[in-house]
Amino acid sequence: MTGLDTSTPPVQSVGVIDAETSTWLQNVPNVRGKNPAAFAETNHTFTIVQLNAAIVANPATDNSTCTLFGFRGTGCIAVFRHATKAEDDDGEDEK
């Protein structure tokens, strides 16, 4: 699901929910992302990040998730993966 995060400042986020227990795990910022779709077999969630004409005309105003990966003024499909605790204990930071 996507919606406004209650953190400060509020940003649009993807909620991570454990499908087996229906327990909320965390919110992940996903500015301008919408229509999430999850693929349980790989633990990936996909969202389309759409920009309006004003942002396309002036890419300097693009604050979307895509800009974190060098895509400014184009939109993208954002892919999220929730690592389990065991996977995250390798000492590496994940984006």
In this predicted model, what pLDDT tens digit does every residue of 4-63 receive, in sequence order? 556 656 788 888 888 789 898 888 889 999 999 988 888 899 999 999 999 999 999 999
Count: domains in the chain: 1
CA distance 46 to 19: 16
Residue 93 belongs to some domain of the structure:
no
Residue 67 in any domain: the answer is: yes
Full residue range of the structural domain in which residue 67 is found: 2-88
In a domain, 95, yes or no: no
Quickly state the pLDDT bin for 95 (edges 50, 70, 90): very low
Q: How far lies 7's CA from each of 12, 26, 47, 86, 90, in Å?
A: 10, 12, 21, 27, 28
Side-chain-side CA neighbours of 8 within 13 Å: the count stands at 0
pTM: 0.71
Q: Does residue 44 lie within any of the structural domains?
A: yes
Q: Is residue 25 part of a domain?
A: yes
